[in-house]
Structure 1
Amino acid sequence: MGAGHAHRLYRPGASPVHRLPAQCKIAAVLCFVLVVVATPRAAVWAFGCYALLLAAVAAAARIPAGVLLKRLLIEVPFVLFAFFLPFVASGPRTEVLGLQLSVSGLWGAWNILAKGTLGVAASVLLASTTELRSLLLGLQRLRLPPLLVQIASFMIRYGDVITDEMRRMRIARVSRGFEATGPRHWKVLATSAGALFIRSYERGERVHLAMVSRGYGGSMPVIDEVTASRAQWAYAAALPAAALVVCLMGWTLV
């Protein structure tokens, strides 16, 4: 997979959650999200239990609540969509704070907010406790198609390169007195986007030729294999197992 490539979401630590192999954490988060999605929306108390489970994981991983809440801001677009849903949905309506809102829209908004927030929080915890390179190795260990793993690896590795290229092009435009203030400047921005695409394509060709010249045959070598013991799998399974118990109780009590 090459050398390590740290990302901003990762918070170094020596907690039990940090020490778990990546494949265990990926499988645990995936199973947890599936259980959350399968929970009936009327079981409101169940989602509170899920939040407590994630809070316990965050405490075990020593991830501050402020950091977790700050990173949850990524779901703001979904929150806005959920906010408007009770106003535009059809069906029976009820009065809330003097407003006539759709009952089905309210339930739909709650469903999106609760399940979406829990899913994003679980993903944030995964990214905060697992190095990027370890995530890729974990996906490979879970038998994800090698081509998808390679695409993800290249995308992450060269995303920063493309971003830096965009920054240099923006500095070049500003140094020449350009400032986008309206539609009449869209042509310049479109030209810049086209130039960035050409540069990225040419860079990709050069990278591919360099890899082939060094013996690349369609698969990336794995430098180290991180295996997981039964105890580590059991430790990681505690989160989805507890969530599954809550989900089954939710279906029973609804």
Structure 2
Amino acid sequence: MSEAFRLIGNPRFGGILVVSDHASSHVPADIELGIDPALLDQHIAIDIGVAEVGALMAERPGIAAFQGGVSRLVCDFNREEHAPAVIPVASDGHAIPGNALDHAGHKARLDRFFRPYHAALAAVLDDKPPALILSLHSFTPQLATSDQPRPWQVGVLYNQDDRAARIAIPLLAAEGLVVGDQEPYSGKLLNATMNRHAEAEGRPYLGIEIRQDQIADAAGQQFWASLLGRICNDVALKLGD
């Protein structure tokens, strides 16, 4: 298994693959970011709760989870390869001095993490094409720059392909949830992994952002794993009609 990713469960043809680019806060021992280690527990380093939700979902038949193996501060898999933020020199007002790399260092970081991650994800999708990809992220209850709490418990994001989103939004709302359609931000602005592996290949996907406080503990993670398992199965079935 590569240090760039981990695969949980057994992908199945016609199943569901849960993809979480930001599932880990791991920083390899030979990489020094030059930041306060406490930042690795915060959203700038990891999508809090998604690793656990994905792993729980992968316990269900027909579902597997593909998760990033390093912190988004080491390498942000949900960026275009040539985007400056793929190896961020700053995040949410915090400088990342260890990421001020020369050309050779930048290329080495991409070769070590970014390219193996995306090559492996492409191979999984080609080998066992799923009926649905679930792109799973989490978001902060409130922006550091705002005094307004974010009301949505879950957001549904998409770019051009909204097939799964249009099915999922009413299903989530029927559960009594406050659902954001292209909230807390638009999938048209930040959707790199799904643009590459889903939209470019015509594969149906569902982009889900869960508010962190919903999945900050084991009970919340179990609730959302069960809920998303049901919702994704319903979406996959309806897509196949």
TM-score when scaled to structure 1? 0.24
Larger relative CO (CA 8 A, sep 6+): 1 or 2? 1
Structure 1 or 2, whichever has the larger Rg, is: 1
Q: Which has the higher helix share?
A: 1
TM-score when scaled to structure 2? 0.25
Q: Which has the higher strand share?
A: 2
